[in-house]
Every structure is written in C-alpha cells, then in structure tokens.
Amino acid sequence: MSQKTILRALAGETLPVPPVWMMRQAGRYLPEYRATRAQAGDFLSLCYTPDLAAEVTLQPIRRFGFDAAILFADILLLPQALGPKLWFEAGEGPRMETTTTPAQVAALRPAGAIHDTLAPVYETLRILSRELPKETTLIGFAGAPWTVVTYMIAGRGKDDQAGAHALKAADRATFEALIDRITEATILYLSAQVEAGAEVIKLFDSWAGSLKGQDFADFAVKPVARIISALKDQHPGLPVIAFPREAGPGYIGFAAATGADCVAVDNSVTPEWAAEHVQPGGCVQGNLDPRHMVTGGEALVRETRRVVDAFRNGPHIFNLGHGITPDADPANVQLMLDTIRSA
C-alpha cells in the first residue's frame, strides 16, 4: 500500500484526516506565481517553459504542503497541438481558431502528431517527479472531450455553450467526429503524461452540466469511459478522478459508468447530498465553495468542518468545488488547511 494519502483515498481507504489539494492551486492568488508569470512574459510561454511551469507547480507545495501537486498547463494545449491557433487576451481569457466544418475537422493533425508540440509538458512532469517531496502525489490532467470541443467550436469559453449545442443539433456527424478526434488525442496525451511521471489523472469536464438526458450519456459519460478504459489498459492500476461539473443527478453512478476511481463534485450540491448519493460508489473529491477563500473568517472554518464531517465515513479527498480565484487570500488557504488537519 502506498504511503501517499491521495493514492490511499483513491484506492478506497477512509482516512482519519482527508488528504487535500486545490484546483488552480498554482495561480494568480499567489505573489510568487505572479512574479514567475511576469518572468515568462505570457501565459502560453509559462505553460511551454518546463522549468517555469514546474516552479509554479511547486510553489503552493512549498507554501502550504498540499498532499498533491497538479501539473501546471491548460486544457487548450491539446487542441492547439492538433492545429488550431490559440492565444490569450489580457483580462478576457483564451481565444481559439474555430473548428466547425467537416473540412476543418478533417484538417486537424493526426492524434499521434501531438507529442512534438506537447513535449515541454512532459518535461515539466519529469522535473516534478524528481523535485516533489516523496509524500506528494503528482496529478496530470486534460479537459474532457465535451468541454474541449465547446472551446474549439465557439473559439472561446461561453457559459451557455450555445455554439457546441447548435453544431450538435445541426450537424451531428461533424460534432461526433470532433468529439472522437479529441477523445483519441486525449488518450495519447494522458498516457504520455503517465509515462513522464503523473501518478494520477484528472479529467475536467467544466461544462458537463449543460448536457441533459441522452446527450449527457453520449458526450459526458461515453468519451470519458473510453479514455479511462484505454488508460487503465495501458497503465494498470492508474487512478483517475473525473469532474463532470454541475452534473447534479448525473453525479450518481458516474464512477461506475465511466470507470473513474473518484468523482469530484462542485459546490452546487451539498456535501451531505454527495455523501449519501455519490460516496457509496467510491472516493469523492470536494467540495468547499471557493468564495470562502476570499471571505475567510468563521464561515470558512464552519463550512470546512461541514465538508470534512459529511464525508467522514468514506474515502474523501478535500478540495474546492471549483478553482480558487485570483482574489483569494493565501491566509484563508492556510486557515482551511489548519481546520482540516485539526478537525
């Protein structure tokens, strides 16, 4: 049995103190991150410079001693490696050359061609596997296919994912071909991450909640199940965390349907609901509201204890219900950790 607490929880062990990490734990709320980002010059240069990407991954581990480090990268590096142009607008986020026609899907590079572009990401993982403390788990990740294609179709993140839903309705064959291409490339990308040192994989489906009924089964469940099955065939024993954000009732049975070892839940569901309906299926990750990292105080302590208590009777990895925001106070992160470890 591994002594790494994250791996123990993912294997189904109920621990007296839950292991903890945070989504976006390397980020703009930390002054040391902002300094390294300035050194890199821009966001994509930071992602593609292994020494700097490793540095920002290590910063929250040095400061807070989280039980896991997650590779610093971006979910849109994978579609960029297939050909579409990617850039970041200051203050507005990512922009991507759109892929919406059969010809554009056909023009994407073969999935096996991604590794030249993504080689710096694998080098970052190799650095981290050498430099992380021995007790710290290294997590690799990718976006789930549905979320990735919403960006490819719209060219940017949109809360309603209208472009993807419209293409799905108007030209389902092209939409499904794009999902298939991203699924195939994601398997290769994540397998290479494991070979470079990732011990756990996480699949982020940030927009899963906009899929309903059969579409949820077809595009939030089936592609993720295909990815997980392929990864576990290639890397027996590899733990995978799936995050179908805002899935609501779709969280129930998601682990069994996809083969995930852990389901991360957002803060639109209560920890008590998730403990009753999701945790019986295996490890749960979550789900403190990220706003408490901004506001702090007694409410942060109370809600942190509530999450710990709700999930106490089964395998649990403490995390936020979504990523920590740039306006968060690092002191509140430390208060959260102190509360978890004394609960």
- Specify the pLDDT at position 230: 98
Which alpha helices (DSSP H) does 212-296 contain, by range? 214-216, 222-234, 254-258, 271-277, 292-295
Strands (E), 103-208: 137-143, 200-205
Per the prediction, the chain carries an average pLDDT of 97
Could you say which DSSP state residue 110 is in? P
Distance CA 175, CA 168 (A): 5
Over residues 161-186, mean pLDDT: 97
Active site residues: 24, 28, 37, 74, 151
Over residues 252-278, mean pLDDT: 98
Q: Is the pLDDT of residue 159 over 80?
A: no
Share of the chain above pLDDT 90, in %: 96
- Specify the pLDDT at position 343: 73
Domains of the chain: 5-342 (3.20.20.210)
Q: Is the pLDDT of residue 313 over 60?
A: yes
Tens of pLDDT, residue by residue over 126-155, are: 999 999 999 999 999 999 999 999 999 999
Q: Is the pLDDT of residue 195 over 80?
A: yes
- Specify the pLDDT at position 165: 97
Tens of pLDDT, residue by residue over 30-56, are: 999 999 999 999 999 999 999 999 999
Distance CA 144, CA 186 (A): 8
CA distances from 61 to 65, 68, 201, 337, 341 (A): 5, 8, 18, 12, 16
Tens of pLDDT, residue by residue over 227-241, are: 999 999 999 999 999
Tens of pLDDT, residue by residue over 251-264, are: 999 999 999 999 99
User: Over 189-234, what HEC string results?
Assistant: HHHHHHHHCCCEEEEEECCHHHCCCHHHHHHHHHHHHHHHHHHHHH
Contact residues for 106 (Cβ-Cβ < 8 A; gap 6+):
none
Q: Is the pLDDT of residue 1 over 70?
A: no
Q: How confident is residue 277, by pLDDT bands cut at 50, 70 and 90?
A: very high
Tens of pLDDT, residue by residue over 284-305, are: 999 999 999 999 999 999 999 9
Tens of pLDDT, residue by residue over 105-123, are: 999 999 999 999 999 999 9
